[in-house]
Structure 1
Amino acid sequence: MAKEAKPEASAAEAPPPRRSKKLIIIIAAVLAIVLLIAAAGAFFLMRSHSSEDGEDTEVATEQAPNKNGKTKGAKESAPTYVPLEAFTVNLVPESGEQFVQLVFSVEVSDAQTADKLKTFGPKVRNNVMMLLSGKKASELLTKEGKEALANEIRDQINSIIAPGAKAADGPVREVLFTSFIIQ
């Protein structure tokens, strides 16, 4: 009877190591999956964090060529806007005294151009005021008149901050009106 007890005891001990091997394999597989998920999450968090800091400011465009001549799929930097102070200018008299009060922002190609625009601020203000003082109210009332004025202001600013460049292709991309009042 003693001989029979030993084989039963050894048979009872054999199955637990088989279960523990399966358990170890399952735990290792689950641990590997969790580590992969954690690594992927950390990668995406770090990548989005660097985008928020402005380290990755280039944006791929998937559009047809725009008015600045950029081609489809070209890389383009994020726009920089520079708000300018309000302009209040007397217009060329048509029916009594009239004036325009104008507030606008300028879209420039980069931060360096924005700094350059601030440096040339007095000259920009002078030239824009001279441009506005030569206009009639009837020229500025229509949508086309406002668009033409925006283009003229853009060209005027480009000629100041980038004198050698073609005015329409300069670093100032667009003039955006925030307030336009004629009285």
Structure 2
Amino acid sequence: MKADPKADAAAVPKSSPKKLIILIAIAVLVLVAGAGAAWYLLQGDAGAAHETEVKPAEPPVYVPLEKFVVNLQPEDGEQYLQIQFTLQVATLEQVEVIKANMPKIQSRVLLLLSAKRASELSTPEGKRQLSSELIKSINEPLVAKGEPQLVSDVLYTSFIIQ
């Protein structure tokens, strides 16, 4: 017994071109929506990164210190240093901490300066070295186990060796 080929063909449903077009259109819409969502999310991240890069930096805060006059370690007779500088700090809170503890800061600076020789301070390199030593000394905690200060720079306004 042979099966009728027409009956077999009738049993298998034919896919209509309309259904195929609809399926392709849905697939394209899903891909476009996914691509749009990915673009939007990536732009949001890039925009946030761009905003942090463009965000203006906080303006520096300065604390001027009074003039210091100290005798230097003797080399060729007596010499003294007259120096005035300004500290650059991170926040206004740091300004208040430094001002409240000015006697301790002044003492540290005087001890550091009076241990120097004129030959150590007369070159630009010596002045930069002194700046880093001043920052280190001033940034040490003012109380035992306390927080360090946040002095980031020493800016000389007067520097005379005689």
TM-score by length of 1: 0.56
Runs (4+) off by over 2 Å: 73-76, 160-165
In the other structure, the counterpart of 1:124 is 105
Counterpart selection for 2:91 from 110, 123, 135: 110
Counterpart selection for 1:84 from 65, 78, 100: 65
Q: Which amino acid aligns with 1:128?
A: V
Pair 61,182 (structure 1): closer, same or farther in 2 beyond 3 Å: farther
Pair 79,182 (structure 1): closer, same or farther in 2 beyond 3 Å: same
In the other structure, the counterpart of 1:148 is 129
Which secondary structure does the structure 2 equivalent of 1:76 belong to?
Answer: coil
**Identity percentage over the alignment?**
45
Which secondary structure does the structure 1 equivalent of 2:57 belong to?
Answer: strand
Contact 1:61-1:76 at 8 Å conserved across structures: no
Contact 1:116-1:161 at 8 Å conserved across structures: no
Deviations 1:36-63 (A, max 9, x none): xxxxxxxxxxxxxxxxxxxxxxxx886x
Q: Which amino acid aligns with 2:91?
A: D
In the alignment, the residues of structure 1 paired with residue 60 and residue 139 of structure 2 have an alpha-carbon distance, to the nearest angstrom, of 16
In the alignment, the residues of structure 1 paired with residue 70 and residue 161 of structure 2 have an alpha-carbon distance, to the nearest angstrom, of 10
Which secondary structure does the structure 1 equivalent of 2:136 belong to?
Answer: helix
Pair 116,93 (structure 1): closer, same or farther in 2 beyond 3 Å: same
In the alignment, the residues of structure 2 paired with residue 161 and residue 105 of structure 1 have an alpha-carbon distance, to the nearest angstrom, of 19
In the alignment, the residues of structure 2 paired with residue 74 and residue 139 of structure 1 have an alpha-carbon distance, to the nearest angstrom, of 41
Q: Which amino acid aligns with 2:129?
A: A
Count of residue correspondences: 111
Which secondary structure does the structure 1 equivalent of 2:66 belong to?
Answer: coil
1:161 Cα deviation from its structure 2 partner: 4.5
In the other structure, the counterpart of 1:175 is 154
Q: Which amino acid aligns with 1:129?
A: L
In the alignment, the residues of structure 2 paired with residue 172 and residue 136 of structure 1 have an alpha-carbon distance, to the nearest angstrom, of 25
In the other structure, the counterpart of 1:36 is none
In the alignment, the residues of structure 2 paired with residue 129 and residue 74 of structure 1 have an alpha-carbon distance, to the nearest angstrom, of 39
**Larger-Rg structure:** 2
1:164 Cα deviation from its structure 2 partner: 5.5
1:74 Cα deviation from its structure 2 partner: 7.0
Deviations 1:111-135 (A, max 9, x none): 0000000011000000100000000
Pair 74,92 (structure 1): closer, same or farther in 2 beyond 3 Å: farther
Relative contact order, CA 8 A, sep 6+: which one is greater? 2
In the alignment, the residues of structure 2 paired with residue 61 and residue 179 of structure 1 have an alpha-carbon distance, to the nearest angstrom, of 38
